[in-house]
Structure 1
């Protein structure tokens, strides 16, 4: 009798496990992976202070006013106090009065990040 009870218990265990497993199977779905670059390579070069790469990209036709992650290249140069790059960008037509998505200009980014050289240059241009 004990053997029968154990066998029945094991059988019921398998039965409930099988039923539960078959009810919990979800339909398969397809996932699409999208790679999103937040900051383009031109602006990364500015942040790193790589003047040669910035010059080369401008020669190849890079737009000096194209926003990346809501900021213009001049904003990145001002924010990270890259004075030589900021001067180059201005020489190539970068606009310093453009506002970011947060409503700030390159001057404001320089001010907030305490980029004294870039801030002094921008103020010199304003006067």
Structure 2
């Protein structure tokens, strides 16, 4: 009887230890994935998302490509999606193209409409 109880106890301990290791692996996987995604976004697009007008100007001055897609969207699309009107004005003054389509087939104006980005829609209207 002691052998059976000891055997069951060992199986229980092993099962709990295995479950904890699996949980750790999953949490590390999520962390690694989020870092990878962030690294794929260009510096210009990151600055646009944050609404950092000075950083956007600085990156443009050092030759950042205004119409280059990052994760399928141009900087203007990110500005539209996150309602960053002042940033969009800077992008437009430097030659950003609002007619480019994302990998999903949407323009910056489409993203502004989807996000109800009223300030950006006003900037786009004035630019037309």
Given the alignment, which residue of 33, 47, 50 partners 2:49? 47
Given the alignment, which residue of 62, 73, 76 partners 2:75? 73
Given the alignment, which residue of 83, 87, 90 partners 2:89? 87
SS in 1 for 2:121: helix
SS in 2 for 1:66: coil
Q: Mind listing any 5+ residue stretches in structure 2 that lack a counterpart?
A: 1-35
Deviations 1:20-58 (A, max 9, x none): xxxxxxxxxxxxxxx563311210110001111111000
**Poorly superposed stretches of 4+, deviation over 2 Å:** 35-38, 123-126
Measured after TM superposition, the shift of residue 120 of structure 1 is 1.7
TM-score by length of 1: 0.69
TM-score by length of 2: 0.68
Partner of 1:12: none
> 1:113 & 1:39 partners in 2: Cα distance?
20
Q: How many residues align?
A: 93
> 1:121 & 1:68 partners in 2: Cα distance?
22
Deviations 1:82-105 (A, max 9, x none): 111101101100000100000000
> 1:85 & 1:43 partners in 2: Cα distance?
11
Q: Which has the higher helix share?
A: 2
SS in 2 for 1:62: coil
Q: Mind listing any 5+ residue stretches in structure 1 that lack a counterpart?
A: 1-34
